[in-house]
Each structure stands twice: as C-alpha cells, then as structure tokens.
A and B are shown apart, each in its own frame.
Chain A
Amino acid sequence: MNKQLEVKNLTIAYDGKAVVADAGFELETGEIGCLLGPSGCGKTSLLRAIAGFEPAVSGEILLRGRCVTRPGTSLAPEYRNVGMVFQDFALYPHLTVSKNIGFGLRKLSRGESQRRVEELLRLVDMEDLGAKYPHQLSGGQQQRVALVRAMAPQPDILLLDEPFSGLDVELRSQLARELREILKRDQITAILVTHDQLEAFAMADRIGVMMEGRMLQWADGYSLYHRPANRFVADFIGRGAMLTGQVIDGPRIETALGILEANRTADLRPGETVELLLRPSDLVHDDNSPFQLEVLDRVFQGAEYLYTLRLNEETQVLCLVQSHHNHAIGERIGVKLDVGRLVTFRN
C-alpha cells in the first residue's frame, strides 16, 4: 500500500501559542481518516495545515511522498492538489450548480469538463439540478454539491471540515453513509474533522483523537473503544466508569466486584493499585450475584436500560440490561463482571 499522507511531528502556533503540538499520523491510499475531538482541540487547524492554509512551526507534511509543508516553506494551496469541503459549503452564489462543480476544471477542455460535471451530478443523483443556483437547493443537496466540487479535479486527498454540522440530525447519518460509499467507490483518500464520535465511527477507517493540540491516539474505532491509549481517550470515546483494583499476582486483580483475570499481564506488578475501565457491557445483570447494587438512575433506550449503579461512596458504575428487567430507582439489583478485554491504567 502507498502512503498518501504523512504528518510528522507537526506543530502549528498562533502568536507563539501552539494549537497543534507534535502531531503525527499516516493515511494509506483510499483510506478515510478522521480527526475527532472537542471544539478548540486543534483538529481544524491541522486540517487547514494539510490544505496549505496554515504554516508549520516544526515537523512536516508529505502528500504522496512529496514534502508540501515544513518550517519556513509551505506549498501554496493551489499547487497541492487537495480538495476541501468547508463547514459552510462556500458555494458560489453567482454560479449555477454545474458551474460550481466545474470551477476547478478549467485545465480540461469544455467537453471533458462538461462530461466530468455530468458524471459527478449522476454520482450524487442530482442530474436535473445542474442549472439551479445554490440558494435553490436544500441543505443536503448543497452539501453534495460542495463535495463533488471538491472531488471534481481528482485531488490526491479530500479534506472535509465538519461536513455535516450544518444539517439536520436525521440527514446526517444518511449522508455520512452515502459519503463513505462514494469515497470508497472511487478509492478517494479523505480526512474529515468532527466532534461527533458516531459520525467518526460511521465514516472513518482511522480516527485520531485530539485534545488541546495533541494527537492522543491514532487507530481504528474498535481499538479506540476497546484499547484506549489513555484515560482521556477512554473517557471521550463511548461511556464507562473507572474502577480501582489491586494486583494480587500475575494476571489476577482484586476489585470491589470480585477478582478479575487480566489478559495482558506483562506490565502488572503484584501489590500495585490500578484503575480499570469498565464499559456498560462489561457488567451483566445476575439476580444470584453476591453484589447487589442500588439503582441511582436509569435511561430507557428501547431494547435496553442503561442503569447507573452505586458501588460505594465514591464510585458509580454503568450497566446495560435488557429492558424487560424493569427496576425502579432505589431498588437493588445483582450484577457481576464479564469483562471481555481488560483495560488498566496506572495512577
């Protein structure tokens, strides 16, 4: 596989303050990456640096093996062959849909350009709308036009800045699926920026979790959920609770909910205190269990209830239970551990 994008130790700063610090990751050709994090974490700055709108203080960016950004020099955006879809779509109000899509195609002949535009309109099921103006389109249609406009010149990489944020919630998941399908069909390498983890899981092959300018983990969704690299990632991705435990020997850890067998033992020392990540599915309902916990809160989710249970004064745990087990707040229910993959952190 070819490396389409390499970001190495990249630092971006405004007025001496680093907004992205020492970030690094790689994308192979045809992969979809995602920069995920709360607002202000530097994900958009990182995306804009790849597009060529932000210079680097240190580190470098390589597109298809060619260095495009390093301290002191930055290839202008118009020479990078990147495509960008902006949060506000940035469609040109004075141009028709077809002209918008053809905006970046002036190197092609008129006929070729027209064919490409038609092909792209077909791709997003908008064959009849080429003569319309952007303000005559719905939000979802505008988003698709912005997308194919960026795809038209066949960029080496497509950059999407919060591409769904301006749209209705119902529309988002549908468009995310459509978008992934389109990108995969054409083997387009892409990066999107979002703060919505479900969007990231739905779209991306690789996800980078960012916080305060740092790239905390670069991995696929499964790994982020089940093998978070640190406490912030564990907290940010999915739901869960932290449970204190003491290592007895080798793989066995003693907790308030009984003894657990760890699957990775190498770095655990007997006698040491560790924190365990407990996902709601790691705790199962069992009336016969010796551990009877008080229900503090519950959320009905259709098939399941998500119960918040009190373990002791300082710890609460989450438990996902099939919804025919209907227990009121204040009742005690029995639970036991059923941890598939144990995640531990040192204090």
Chain B
Amino acid sequence: MISGTSVWRGGVVLIASLLAMPVIVILGFLLVPAGEVWHHLVSTVLPDYVKNSLLLMLGVSIGVLILGVGSAWLTSMCRFPGSRLFEWSLLLPMAMPAYIIAYTYTGLFDFAGPAQSLLREWTGWSYGDYWFPEIRSLEGAAVMLSLVLFPYVYLLSRAAFLGQSLCVLDVSRTLGNGPWRTFFTVALPLARPAIVAGLSLALMETLADYGTVQYFGVATFTTGIFRTWFGLDSTAAAAQLSAVLLLFVFVLVVLERSSRRSARYHHTSQRHQVLRRYPLAGWRGAGAALFCFGILFFGFLLPAGQLLIWAVTTADERLDAQFLSLVWHSLELAGIASLLALALALFLGYGRRLHGNWAVQLAVRIAGMGYAVPGTVIAVGVMIPFAAFDNGLDAWMRSQFGLSTGLLLSGTLAALLFAYLVRFLAVSLQTVEAGLAKIRPSMDEVSRSMGTGGAETVRRVHVPMLKGSLVTALLLVFVDVLKELPATLILRPFNFNTLAVRAYELASDERLADASLASLTIVAVGIVPVILLSRSIGRSRHEQAT
C-alpha cells in the first residue's frame, strides 16, 4: 500500500529534481569537452567578460553600500525632516527594473537629451566644447544598478540596526565614544552580516542583469551568453559560459547564507527597547534629508517622471489594440506563473510541515535556490533539455508513425512558465513558509483535541491565518514575472510579446518615448510589492512599540 506520507515525500523530491534540472544541465556542460567556439571565446572575449563583470560588481558594491547603509542608518536611528516618509519611500526604486531606468537615463542625459540641451542653451557651448559623463558606459551601468538595487542593502541593514539592542549602543556612549565612533566601532560591525547578505543579493541581481549591460554595450557574462547562443549558435559554449557564471553566483550564495547564519548569533540581548531616535537639527537635518531625497529623486522620481511625460505625449498613438494584447499576454503569463508557483509552494510547504525528513528538507531547500540563478542561465538550461526532448520525440514519432509532433515543450509557453517557476518559486515558497510558521503545531493540536478533524482544521484555522501570505505570495511572483526580461527573450514563443520584451525592443531601437507606456505599466505594477513591504515595516515598528 502506498501511504500518504510517501506520496507527499515522493512529490516533493520530484518537484525539486525537476526544478534543479536546468542548473544540473548547465553544470553538466563543465564535463563536456570544450569545443572550438569555447577556445575562441577564451582567447578573445572571455577575459573581458570576467573583467567587466568584476568591475561592475565592484562599482555596484560601492554604490549600494553608500546608498543602502547610509540611508538605513539615517532613517532607523535619526529624526530629521521627512524621515518617516523616507522610511518607506526609499523602497520605491525597487519598482524600477534596471533596464528601464537605464534607457530612461539615456534619454535624459545623452547628447540630444534635455539635460545636455539645457546646458548648451545656457552656456552657448556646442558639441565638443565641454565634457559630460557618458551614461552608456560600465560606470553608468554601475550607477543605474546601484540606484535600483540599493534597497536590498537598505532593507536588511535597517532591520539589523533596529534589532540592535539599544544598550549596546548606550554602553559605547558611556565608555566615551561619540555617535560617529559608536557607529563605526559598534553599530556597523554588528550589522555587518546583514549588510553582507543584502550586498550578496544586490550582486546576484547585478550578475543576472541583461537589459542594462546590453543596452549600454558593456560585455558581461549575460550578454556573452546571448551572443554565443543566438550569434554563434553554439549551445555547448553558451552553456559553458553559463556554468562559469554560475560559479560566480555560487560564491555569492555561500556568502549570503553564511552571513545570514552568523547574523542570528549577533543578538546578545533579548531585550529591545523602543529606539530613541537621535534628532538632527539645522544643517545636519537638512543634509540627511537631502541625502535621502537625492536617492529617492534619482532612483525613482526623476525616471518615473520622465516615463510619465513620454507616456502622456505618446499615449494617443501607442494605446492601441496591440498594446492591449501586450498587457493581456503579460497578465496571462504572470497570473498563471504566480498561481502555479503558489500551488507548488503550498505542496512543498505542507510536505515539509507534515512529512519533513532530511530528504524533504533538502528538496525544499534546493527548490528555493532558483532565485540566485540568472534568468539567462535558466533559459539556456531549460532550452537544451526541452529541445532535446522535442527532437527525440519528433524523430521517434516520424520513424514509427510517420507523423511529426513538432515543438511540444521548447518554443511554447510551457518552457517559459517552467523557467519562471525555477527562478521565482523561492519567492512564494518563502512567503508561504513564513505564513505556515505562524500556525504553531500546538494550534493544530488544540483544534484536534476539541474534536476538529484535519480537513476542518485547515478550513477553520489554516485558511484564515494563511490568507494574507497567499495573496502576498501571488502578488510578489506576479510582479517579478512581469518585470522579467532575459529568460522571456530567449524562451518566448515566436512573435509572442510581453510588456517587458516590447519595452526593451523599442528602447533598443532608440524609440525611447514609444517604450515608455509599457515601461510605466511595469513600474506601476511594481509598486504593489513596495506597498506590501512598507506595510510590513510599519507593522514591525508597531510591534516594537508595544
């Protein structure tokens, strides 16, 4: 007889193995002997890919650390004009995908853009008379990515600062250290694990970015994979490039995991008092407010404003049936992907809760690793086995029955949805598991001891307690899918466009204004998780106050 437990456990392990397949396929190519194309890559462009990726990571590290830690410290520890407002509005840049901010800034700051035109008008200079920073460069890409990725560092270091026992800081003050010294000798080292974890996440996104570096013409791993895949038409070399990129990612994952683990041991005191915020008056307050406003302005207000202006001027001609079909495609994809991700997350979450053994634990852990893998890598890892399956099946059917099955998996929405699940399941899994953790085992038991069976316990206890988490999980995956670019570019069915793809294509053709309507739609939807996040921040502050 097959028991319920073994069905759950088998199912969990099966799902995890399927989701791990793309990464395993890619890593498998490390064992495949290197072909001619690979040798060509190594002798020509690979050193550039490595150098540019490392430089980009360095630039983004500096950027997100200054923006993220600085703003987190100011908003969590100090009071200054607008500090409450900045606390949540500093998350707004998260709604701005990097490739969108990149082309918006290009439109604003390149030679023909309003900034330089204005400069020329005021000064009377013409082309070549003056120096202006080139936005489409590696440095420019680092700035763009920093502006939208710093919230990872902001969120985690802010939580760390708020979690620090005030006594620790007070002790430092009584031992004769001023506020600045206390920050650098106590608060910063204590928050370091959280800061490093946030930095690793930002760097994972940096490595995963395709739109920005492609648009700015910076040759990195992701653009290299695209070129090898589409331009050189070499599957093996693209997979091998992906594998090297995965090694970079792996280092970051280890860094993030170990920092998070050590962060747990950093709480020495159980007692947390409500923070007394240090009031900043005069020029200090103005400076702090200016710093935070600057981040908010350049990270969100300016690009969003420019998008809005473009969208308003082009709406008449762009808002047509074609645009509506784009919106419909995007919503359809994001809707199906988020529902599937939720169903899988529930299955895995309950599998772990009810039938967790080491195999289930490991499987759930593996299923949640996809967030670290760049979309480009996942796409290549999905395409190779799916295409092999289709070709194999097609050949077999033709030889046996004389009919062609064509492409069943690759080149269909199935492949795309599968890739989304690999990448974004972690998001809904985390949310569902956090929700399930709030239903303590004793709550199940008390219900059963009062004569309530399993199904009824789920209906009367689990459903109402989980509802919020389920909606959050749906929304987060929905928005992530809507913003996703590289995997969609590679895996979408022929002539199937989404908002993100279309915005990117139009921008690549230098039709920046035409791209704005689709971009603005993505940004607007992206604000939803920002609101959710800021609400949970508000709640945690309330809990600390009571």
Residues of chain A touching chain B, judged by Cβ–Cβ distance below 8 Å, are 51-53, 76-84, 86-88, 90, 92-95, 103-104, 106-107, 149-150, 152-153, 155, 159
Contacts and interface: CB of A to CB of B under 8 A. Distances in A.
Contacts of A153: 450-451
Interface in B436-482: 438, 440, 442-443, 445-453, 460-461, 464-465
A48 B452 CA distance: 17
Contacts of B440: 88, 90
A155 B446 CA distance: 13
B448 A77 contact: yes
6 contacts: A53-B445, A77-B449, A78-B448, A78-B449, A90-B440, A103-B452
A104 B451 contact: yes
Given A53-B445, A84-B445, A94 B464 contact: yes
B452 A88 contact: no
Contact of A80 (B443, B449, B452): B449
A235 B451 CA distance: 41
A251 to B, nearest CB: 52
A103 B447 contact: yes
A150 B465 contact: no
A208 B336 CA distance: 58
A242 B346 CA distance: 60
A94 B310 CA distance: 46
A202 B451 CA distance: 30
A79 B451 CA distance: 6
A153 B438 CA distance: 26
A87 B450 contact: no
A197 B204 CA distance: 56
B443 A92 contact: yes
B447 A150 contact: no
A84 B451 contact: no
Given A88-B440, A94-B465, A103-B460, A78 B445 contact: no
Contact of A78 (B438, B443, B453): B453
A59 B40 CA distance: 75
Contacts of B438: 93
A82 B274 CA distance: 42
A160 to B, nearest CB: 12
Nearest to A83: B449
Contacts of B452: 78, 103-104, 106
Given A52-B449, A82-B449, 7 more contacts: A78-B448, A78-B453, A81-B451, A83-B450, A84-B446, A104-B452, A150-B450
A88 B442 contact: yes
Contacts of B442: 86-88, 90
Q: Which label, helix, strand, loop or mixed, suits the secondary structure of the B interface?
A: helix
Contact of A150 (B443, B449, B461): B449
Contact of B445 (A79, A90, A94, A152): A90
A90 B450 contact: no
B450 to A, nearest CB: 3
Interface in B405-461: 438, 440, 442-443, 445-453, 460-461
Q: Which label, helix, strand, loop or mixed, suits the secondary structure of the A interface?
A: loop
B5 to A, nearest CB: 15
Interface residues on B, range: 10 to 19
Nearest to B445: A53
Contacts of B443: 90, 92
Nearest to B448: A77
B442 to A, nearest CB: 4
A78 B451 contact: yes
B357 to A, nearest CB: 12
Contacts of A83: 449-450
Contact of A92 (B445, B451, B453, B465): B465
From B438, B449, B450, B464, name the one whose CB has the most chain A CB atoms within 10 angstroms. Answer: B449
A153 B440 CA distance: 22
Contacts of A103: 447, 450, 452, 460
B464 to A, nearest CB: 5
Contacts of A79: 451
A92 B465 CA distance: 8
Given A90-B440, A90-B442, A94-B464, A51 B449 contact: yes
A77 B445 contact: yes
Of all A-B residue pairs in the complex, the 10 with the closest CB atoms, nearest first, are: A104-B450, A90-B442, A86-B442, A77-B448, A84-B449, A90-B446, A94-B464, A90-B443, A78-B451, A78-B448
A152 B449 CA distance: 12
A52 B451 CA distance: 12
Contacts of A86: 442, 445-446
Interface in B8-49: none
A90 to B, nearest CB: 4
A284 B244 CA distance: 84
Contacts of A51: 445, 449
Nearest to B443: A90
A96 to B, nearest CB: 12
A88 B441 CA distance: 10
A150 B446 contact: yes
A51 B442 CA distance: 12
Nearest to B450: A104
Contacts of A104: 450-452
Contacts of B464: 94-95
Contacts of B447: 103
Contacts of A81: 451
Contacts of B460: 103
A81 B450 CA distance: 7
Nearest to B451: A78
A69 to B, nearest CB: 14
A80 B453 CA distance: 12
Nearest to B465: A94
A94 B452 CA distance: 17
A83 B446 CA distance: 8
B465 A93 contact: yes
A53 B446 CA distance: 11
From A52, A88, A92, A149, name the one whose CB has the most chain B CB atoms within 10 angstroms. Answer: A92
A218 to B, nearest CB: 24
A206 B445 CA distance: 26
Interface in B126-148: none
Interface string B164-187: 000000000000000000000000
A9 B189 CA distance: 57
A159 B465 CA distance: 25
Contacts of A92: 443, 461, 465
B449 A76 contact: no
A279 B254 CA distance: 60
A106 B460 CA distance: 11
